[in-house]
């Protein structure tokens, strides 16, 4: 049951990242877009936290956790760079 709950939360958080970036790109102002990007970053932080819980509970391997964590770091830097460019 716990694995399903973590998996469900993880799916929703991952989807939230892309949805907020997409919604923000259609904003009428840079300030609004930056706000959506901030929300996307918060969702990404939730993803990282959920990955840590999944790893701690042995739902994912160390190798998978490290690979996903590295990808999350890269994505966070890209979103932050986009936000800074606005």
2 — pLDDT class (breaks 50, 70, 90): confident
61 backbone φψ class: left, alpha, beta (φ>0; ψ -120 to 50): beta
User: What's residue 85's pLDDT?
Assistant: 97
User: What's residue 70's pLDDT?
Assistant: 98
How far, CA to CA in Å, does 37 sit from each of 11, 49, 63, 64, 71? Answer: 18, 18, 29, 26, 17
In total, how many domains does the chain have? 1
Q: Domain with 48 in it: what CATH number?
A: 1.20.1440.60
Mean pLDDT of the region 54-67: 97
User: What's residue 52's pLDDT?
Assistant: 97
In a domain, 3, yes or no: no
Segments forming the whole domain that contains residue 73: 8-85
Q: Which two tokens stand for residue 59?
A: 């739902």
Question: Has residue 1 got a pLDDT over 80?
Answer: no
In a domain, 2, yes or no: no
pLDDT greater at residue 4 or residue 7: 7
Question: Has residue 3 got a pLDDT over 90?
Answer: no
In a domain, 1, yes or no: no
Alpha-carbon torsion angle 14, 15, 16, 19, nearest 10: 140
How many CA atoms lie within 13 Å of 82's alpha carbon, on the beta-carbon side?
A: 18
């Amino acid at each position: 049951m716990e694995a399903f709950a973590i998996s469900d939360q993880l799916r929703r958080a991952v989807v939230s990242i892309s949805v907020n970036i997409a919604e923000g790109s259609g904003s009428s102002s840079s300030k609004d877009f930056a706000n959506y990007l901030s929300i996307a970053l918060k969702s990404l932080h939730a993803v990282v936290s959920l990955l840590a819980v999944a790893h701690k509970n042995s739902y994912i391997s160390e190798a998978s956790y490290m690979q996903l964590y590295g990808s999350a770091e890269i994505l966070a830097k890209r979103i932050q760079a986009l936000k800074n460019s606005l």
